Amino acid sequence: MDLWQLWEKKTGVPVRLTATNWDDAQRMIKAGEADVIDMIFRTPPREAFYEFSQPYAELPVAIYSHASISGINGVSTLKGFQVGVQAGDACIDILQSNGITTLVFYRNYGELLAAARNQEIKVFCLDEYPANFYLYKLNARSELRKAFELYRGQFHRAVRKGQGDMLRLVEVGMAKITPDERQVLHEKWFGEPLDFMPYARSIGWVALFLLGGGGVLLAWSLVLRRQVAARTQTLNQTLLKLQEAHRATEEMSQHLAAILAAIPDMLFELDADGRYLGVFANPSMLLVAPRDSLIGRRVDEVLPLDAARSVHEAIAIALRDGADYGREVCFEINGQLHWFELSTARKAAVADLPHVLMLSRDVTARRESEQALLKAREEAIVHERDKRIRALFDAAPVGLAYVKGNVIESLNQQFVAIFGYQADDIPTLDDWWRRAYPDPAYRQTVVATWEGLIKKALAGDGEVESREYRVRTKSGRDLDMLIGGKVLEDGMIATLTDISQLKSVQAALNEAKEAAEAANMAKSTFLANMSHEIRTPMNAILGYAHLLRRGELTAEQGDRLTKIGTAGEHLLAVINDILDISKIEAGKMVLEETDFALSAILDHVQSLIANSARAKGLTVRIDYGNVPSILRGDPTRLRQGLLNFANNAVKFTERGTVTIRARLLEESESGLLIRFEVSDTGIGISAQQRAGLFRAFQQVDASTTRKYGGTGLGLAITQRLARMMGGDAGVESQPGLGSTFWFTARLRRGLLAESAETRDQSSPESMIRLHYAGTRILLVEDDSINQEVALALLEDTGLKVDVADNGWQAVAKATETDYALILMDMQMPEMGGIEATQAIRQLPARQWTPIVAMTANAFDEDRERCIAAGMSDFIPKPVDPEVLYQTLVRWLSNSSH
C-alpha cells in the first residue's frame, strides 16, 4: 500500500487500491473494473489476457499433503488425487499443463486450509511463504506438510491485453522510486537491526578522557559516571537479552533433542555426494552400522547398491527441487529385511556446499501389514472367484465336466441331471467311456475320434470341435449329444449338450417341409393342369367368336358374340389372376427390366377401359405429372396394376370422372420413386371396409360381390407387385365422395428414344397377306377344334398351312419340308412339343427355323422350358389373333424364306 502511495506521489496519478481474492481480481481486470493487478505470476494461459511487467520478486510454490498420506514427491504422484487450489491461482495453469485436472477450487487460503485440515482434500497447492505463515498461525504444521516444490514463480504487475500504455506508466512510476525510499519502506515493515557501535564509541571516549588527566577526569567524573551508568544499564539490558536468547536457544535445542528422541524416525544430514555429516537416532533404532562409524562415510560404502542408488536420487531431486518425499529403500539388518521411507529436504548451503536433511522412517511393520492384508485380500478374491465360477459352472444350461488327465475332477448339476451319474460313478475317463458307450465297437470309434480332436485342439487354439455322439445314460436311455470342449493349461472343460429333442423337432420339421413341398407341388401341378384345361377350350371359344365377327352378322348376333367374348375375357382374367397370385406366393414371379414410354402405359390403360367408361357416360382423364417420359422397369406389371385400379374405378362409379395419373415422389442415385394412382367419383369406401381390401379373395362385403362381381384378387396382386418393385399400395377414400387407389414403384430413367423413321402403319394381318401369302408353315396341334380355329386364322391371311397331330408327325414333316415357321403346341400325345423341338433342332437344315410355342401352358417356367428347348418365341392360349399376327410378321421377316 505504501509503495503505491509513493508511486501516486511520484506520478501525480491518483490510485485506488482494492483488496480481493485472486479470482475476483482477475475477473475485475478482464471486465475493465480495475486497471492493474499486482503480485501476479506469469503463465502461458494468462498471456492471452494480460501484458506483464518485468519480474521484481521470486516466490516458491509448493504442493502440500496431509500427514496421513505419503509418497507425494512429484507431479506424476498427484494423479488420482483431488488437488485443492485457490480460485485464480497460477498453479492451476501449471497443474493442468502437467495433466492434473482433478482440481477443487476455494475462494481463499483460509477456506483451502480448513478443507485440508478436515481431510476433504488430501493434497493442495499454496505459495510457500504464505503457507508457512498460515500453518504456523493455525498450529497445523504437524497435520499438513510440504510434499515438494511445484515451481518458482516471479511476481509481475499486469494490465489487460492492449493496455500497453498503462503498463508503461506503471513501470515509469516504479522506476522513479529511489533505492533509499525503498529501504525506508523495507525498514518500516521489516525493522532496523541493532547497532552496537554507539556503545563502542562511548567506551573509547571514556578511555581517552582517562588518559588525558586526572583533573579533567575528576571534573567530568560526575557527568561521565552518569553517562557510563546509562551505557552500563543499556549494556546490561543487552546482555540480559542475550542471556535470554541463549537460554531460549538451549531450551530450543533441548526441545529439538526431545523431539528427535520422541519421533520414531532417524534423521541424517548428508552432502551432495551422499556423505554422512550427522546422524540423529535413538539408541533403540536400527542403523545399518554404528552411528560413529557412519560419520564421514558415503552411502555407497554402507548401503546395498539399490538402496544407495535410491538415496543418491533423493539427494539429487531435493537439491534441485527443494524436497523429495515418499521414496522407499529396502535392505537387510541383522539378517532381517527392513523397509525405510525417505523424506529429503534441501538445507541452506554451508560454506557454499549444498546439504540435505533426510528423514528415514522404518515402515517394515506397515509393509508387512500391507502385504499380509494384500495376501488376505487376494485369497478372499480367489475364494470369491472360485465360488462364482462354481456357481456359474453349476448354473450352466449344458452338461459340463472338468477333466484333468484321465481324472474327472468335477461335474456340474446339469451333467448329473442329464446322465444320472454322480462324480463317484465315473471318477475317470475310462469309467465314462465304458458306461456311456457300452457297445465296444462304437466306444472304440468314439475314443479314437475324441483323442484326435484333442490333438487338433492342442495344436490350434484349444477349442475341441463339437461332434454328435449317441450316449447311454445311467437309466439305460440313449441320447443324442453334441460334445466339445476347451483345453486349458491344467486340464480341459468338456461341454455336453442334449440335442435329442432338437433332432426330433428337426425330423418333424423335415417331414413338414417335405409335406409342404409336396402340397405346393401338387398345387402347382393342379394350377398348371387347370390352366391348360381351361385355356384349351377358351382358345376355341374366343377363336370362333373372332372368326364369326368377321362374317356378316345381324345386330343381335353381333351383340351375343360380343357378350361371349366379354365373358371369355373375364374368365381368362380370373385364370390369370389365380396364376399370378400363385406365382407371387411361390416366389416365382420374375420382374422384367426394359425401357418403355410412360404414355404407352397410361394410354393403353385408358384405351382398355374407354368402351366400358363410355357406356356409363364417364370421362376418363390422364395426368402424366412430372414423371420422365421414358422409364426402365416392368411395363407389363405396371400396366396390370393400373388396369386393376381402372377397371374397379369404372365398375364402382356411376357418374363423373376417372383420372389416371403419375407423380414423381423422389429421385436419387438409386433411381426414381413414382406413384401411380387412379381416382374416381364413385361410391367410396368407409375406414372399416378399407381394412381388408388388399387381402386375397376378399372384397368390401358379400353384397359387393353379388352386385359387381369379381374375385377379390386384383388389389392383392397389385399390392404384392408394387412391393416387389420396391413400393407399396393403398387407398384414400370417403363414402359418397369417391376413392383414390395408388401404388408406388422404384424405377429408373430409360434410354429409349423415339425413332425418326417413318413406320409402316399397316396392320400385321395385312402385312402377312401382302408380303407372305403362299408361304408354307407347319401347325402342330393335337386338338381338332383348336386346329380348325388356327387354320381359319392362318389361311385367312394367305399362308399355306400343313398340320401335324403330334410331335412325331411334326419331326417327320419338318424332315421332308423346309417350313418358313413352325407353330408348336406343348402337351400332345406320343411326343410333346419340347421333345419335338429338340429333335427338329438336331436336323442339319432346321437349326434356325423359327419355332413358336402356341400353348395353354402359361406359366413363366413353361416359357423358360420352351426357350431352353430351342423355341424362338411363346404365344399363350387362348390366342389373341393380333398377338399371333404380330409374332408371325416378326419371325417371318427374319426367316430366309
Tens digits of residue pLDDT in 822-869 = 999 988 988 999 999 999 999 988 989 999 999 877 677 788 889 999
Predicted local confidence at residue 48, as pLDDT: 82
Rg (C-alpha) for the chain, rounded Å, is 56
> At residue 517, does pLDDT exceed 80?
no
**Average pLDDT of 760-785?**
88
Q: Residue 808: which residues within 8 A CB-CB, separation 6 or more?
A: 830, 831, 836
Predicted local confidence at residue 754, as pLDDT: 46
Calpha distance 835→23 (Å, rounded): 101
Predicted local confidence at residue 757, as pLDDT: 39
Q: At how many degrees (to 10) do helices 197-212 and 214-262 cross?
A: 150
> At residue 302, does pLDDT exceed 90?
no
User: Could you tell me the pTM of the whole model?
Assistant: 0.39
Among 96-110, 129-143, 581-595, 603-617, whose mean pLDDT is lowest? 581-595
Q: Averaging pLDDT over each range in 30-39, 547-556, 654-663, 750-759, which range is the top one?
A: 654-663
Predicted local confidence at residue 715, as pLDDT: 85
Predicted local confidence at residue 706, as pLDDT: 43
Predicted local confidence at residue 9, as pLDDT: 82
Cell of 252: 530450543
What digits encode the pLDDT tens for the residues 787-811? Answer: 998 998 999 899 999 999 999 999 9
Considering the chain, what percentage of its residues have pLDDT values greater than 70? 81
**Average pLDDT of 747-761?**
62
Give the residue with greater pLDDT, 761 vs 766. Answer: 766
Considering the chain, what percentage of its residues have pLDDT values greater than 90? 34
Cell of 150: 511445484
Helix (H, G, I), strand (E, B) or coil at 846: coil
Predicted local confidence at residue 585, as pLDDT: 66
Among 83-87, 243-247, 353-357, 716-720, whose mean pLDDT is lowest? 243-247
Calpha distance 82→102 (Å, rounded): 5
Asked whether the beta carbons of 66 and 179 are under 8 A apart, the reply is no
Q: Residue 358: which residues within 8 A CB-CB, separation 6 or more?
A: 267, 268, 269, 270, 311, 314, 315, 318, 342, 343, 344
What digits encode the pLDDT tens for the residues 881-890? Answer: 888 999 999 9
Residues pairing with 144 in the sheet: 66
Predicted local confidence at residue 887, as pLDDT: 93
Helix (H, G, I), strand (E, B) or coil at 43: coil
Asked whether the beta carbons of 73 and 149 are under 8 A apart, the reply is no
**Average pLDDT of 544-554?**
75
Calpha distance 872→895 (Å, rounded): 12
Helix (H, G, I), strand (E, B) or coil at 790: helix
**Average pLDDT of 380-385?**
63
Predicted local confidence at residue 491, as pLDDT: 87
What digits encode the pLDDT tens for the residues 421-461? Answer: 998 999 999 999 999 999 999 999 999 999 999 899 998 88
> At residue 870, does pLDDT exceed 70?
yes
Cell of 312: 543418491
Predicted local confidence at residue 833, as pLDDT: 94
Calpha distance 826→348 (Å, rounded): 117
Calpha distance 190→182 (Å, rounded): 12
Calpha distance 327→147 (Å, rounded): 12
**Per-residue confidence band for 627, with pLDDT thresholds at 50, 70 and 90:** very high
**Per-residue confidence band for 711, with pLDDT thresholds at 50, 70 and 90:** low
**Per-residue confidence band for 638, with pLDDT thresholds at 50, 70 and 90:** very high
Predicted local confidence at residue 224, as pLDDT: 46
Predicted local confidence at residue 529, as pLDDT: 66
CA distances from 395 to 399, 408, 728, 827 (A): 10, 19, 49, 66
Predicted local confidence at residue 219, as pLDDT: 37
**Average pLDDT of 560-567?**
73
What digits encode the pLDDT tens for the residues 283-293? Answer: 667 677 777 77
Predicted local confidence at residue 808, as pLDDT: 96
**Average pLDDT of 256-275?**
75
Q: Give kind and range of the element (H or E) at residue 615.
A: helix 598-615
DSSP state of 303: S
Q: Residue 834: which residues within 8 A CB-CB, separation 6 or more?
A: 826, 865, 866, 869
Q: Residue 682: which residues within 8 A CB-CB, separation 6 or more?
A: 649, 652, 653, 654, 656, 738, 739
- Any idea which residue has 434410354 for its cell? 751
Q: Averaging pLDDT over each range in 249-263, 551-565, 830-844, which range is the top one?
A: 830-844
Region of residue 630 (phi > 0: left; psi between -120 and 50: alpha; otherwise: beta): beta
**Average pLDDT of 142-150?**
90
Predicted local confidence at residue 218, as pLDDT: 39
Calpha distance 414→146 (Å, rounded): 62
Residue 612 sits at the vertex; the CA angle it makes with 608 and 613, to the nearest 5 degrees, is 95
Rounded to a whole number of angstroms, the distance between the first and last alpha carbons of the chain is 124
Helix (H, G, I), strand (E, B) or coil at 467: strand
Give the residue with greater pLDDT, 400 vs 568. Answer: 400
CB atoms within 10 A of CB 343: 23
Predicted local confidence at residue 203, as pLDDT: 39
**Average pLDDT of 472-494?**
90
Helix (H, G, I), strand (E, B) or coil at 193: coil
Q: Which amino acid is at 718?
A: T
**Average pLDDT of 78-82?**
85
Region of residue 629 (phi > 0: left; psi between -120 and 50: alpha; otherwise: beta): alpha
Predicted local confidence at residue 864, as pLDDT: 86
Q: For residues 792, 796, 799 and 800, what is the CA-based torsion angle, rounded to 10 degrees?
A: 50
CB atoms within 10 A of CB 681: 19
**Average pLDDT of 278-307?**
80
Among 343-357, 618-632, 699-713, whose mean pLDDT is lowest? 699-713
**Average pLDDT of 492-519?**
83
What is the distance, to the nearest Å, from the Cα of residue 58 to the centroid of all Cα atoms in its chain?
52
Phi and psi, residue 144, nearest 5°? -120, 135
> At residue 728, does pLDDT exceed 90?
yes
Predicted local confidence at residue 558, as pLDDT: 74
> At residue 85, does pLDDT exceed 70?
yes
What digits encode the pLDDT tens for the residues 220-253? Answer: 444 445 555 566 677 667 767 766 766 776 666 5
**Mean pLDDT computed over every residue of the chain:** 82
Calpha distance 513→879 (Å, rounded): 38
Predicted local confidence at residue 110, as pLDDT: 87
